[in-house]
Amino acid sequence: MQNRPKVIMFGWEFPPVISGGLGVACLGLCKALSPLADVKMIIPKSVPDFKIPNIELIGLNAFSREELREIFSKKSKNGSHGLNFYQINAGVNPYIKIDSNETINQKFYDVYNQNIEPFEIDALYAGDVIKKAIEFSRISVQYALQQDFDVIHAHDWLTFLPAIELKMLTGKPLVLHIHSLEYDRAGADSKNWVYDLEKKAMDLADRIIPVSKYTGHICHSHYKIPNYKIIPIHNGVEPITHTVKISPHKDKLIIFFGRITMQKGPEFFVEAARIVLKYHNNVKFVMAGSGDLHKPLIEKIASFGLGDKFFFTGFLNKQKLNELLAISDVYCMPSVSEPFGLSAVEAVQYGLPVIMSKTSGVGEVLNSALKIDFWDTYKLAQYIIASIDYKGLSAEMVGQANKDLKHITWEITAVKVMQIYDSLIH
């Protein structure tokens, strides 16, 4: 492409303000796109001294009251929020609970009729997340309408509101990047406002980029999106230099890290651990992360009498997580539904054997992993024991993983994304 495309990108998480893999993926993609495209990444919260060459980070939290008034004084010719959402009770969000008598339409009315004030957000997923997403949309669309751009690119449902509105107001091509769906978080029977938003956005989008063929199939089968729109592109991973350390523990360390929620299958990890400990006493299990199943699982482990065999670390930043990976022996990812699973790639970078569920997108590119049905705790336990006992098996898995890693790069991902931009712009 002779001219670099100008991209308006909407994100919710972005380092150093992250809660999971979404922010890591957005960073990796932006860095790989920076030599190829001009990207303005609009996010709720940015940190002033965090910068990426050739990527313009626009944190709404950085706009003063005066700057916001200036942005809103420059009206677009056809600028209005103009979205018509169904009257649906809003007690449906996977992260929050909202009073059942409050409707989404009321939130839109309240937000769009309040005075313009600086955007304030402490925790990305705390409190009334839907209201935050609407406020984010109101300001970011007004800012974006005053920019020169060729294509709109949005990451997951929290950014779909501004993406839809900008598409409707400008007619510019819309690309949706699907890292996770309501289907993954709440199950196949979940049909709520978030699902409706995802469906509406996918219907309006010109192209949809799921992070795996697995997620692409869900877009087609569960959301009824035509296949021609769906172009799966796997995530990449940042190359790292690391040192595997001698563990201070004499026991083998088996780890799980991620949100401790139904989607990630932590209860299956606990059940498998119970089986392993019948055969191996020199093993300990680490659960790194936080979520709504955190306390119930601690209580369950205590009822098994296995409290001395488990460590719960809470959420770990990147440095602490790397320190844990450096001293661990096996990584388990028994997710019920995992669109990609970047954590599994991070684990193989540290030379760990990886055991994952078959319902994980990363399995499409990580041939070295042992794969199970997420509910099959007996087989998960067998694979954990085999990974500990048979050094040849572990060595073979690690060797294959090093070959797999050569094909899991953000540069490969960025080239494929650029091909989509090119096809839409020209």
Model-level pTM?
0.87
Dist. CA 287–CA 270, nearest whole Å: 9
Q: Structural domains in the chain?
A: 6-236+410-425 (3.40.50.2000), 252-405 (3.40.50.2000)
Task: Tell me if 30 sits within 8 A of 46, measured CB to CB.
Answer: no
pLDDT for the residue numbered 84: 45
pLDDT band at 246 (very low <50, low <70, confident <90, very high): low
In this prediction, residue 115 carries a pLDDT of 80
Whole-number Å distance between alpha carbons of 337 and 322: 24
Q: What is the pLDDT of residue 67?
A: 87
pLDDT above 60 (res 34):
yes
pLDDT-wise least confident of 59-73, 154-168, 272-286: 59-73
| Displacement of CA 411 from its chain's centroid (Å) | 19
Sign of torsion over alpha carbons 69, 164, 216, 158 = positive
Residues 105-164: tens digit of each pLDDT:
778 888 887 888 888 887 888 788 888 999 999 999 999 999 999 999 999 999 999 999
Give CA–CA dist 297/289, Å, rounded.
12
Using only C-alpha atoms, the chain has a radius of gyration, in whole angstroms, of: 22
| Closest CA relative to residue 334, chosen from 278, 262, 279 | 262
Which tokens in the block code for residue 28? Answer: 């990796």
Number of Cβ within 10 Å of residue 333's Cβ equals: 26
Residues 108 and 81 sit within 8 Å (Cβ to Cβ): yes
Is 34 or 117 the better-scoring residue by pLDDT?
A: 34
CA torsion through residues 130, 154, 114, 193, sign: negative
Look-up: residue for tokens 């199950």? 187
The answer to which of 108-117, 226-235, 329-338, 383-392 has the lowest mean pLDDT is 108-117
Closest CA to 153 of 248, 268, 29: 29
**For the chain, what is the mean pLDDT?**
87
Q: Is the pLDDT of residue 83 over 60?
A: no
Q: Mean pLDDT across the stretch 282-303? A: 93
Per cent of the chain over pLDDT 90 is: 61
Phi-psi region of 54 (alpha: psi -120 to 50; beta: other; left: phi over 0): left
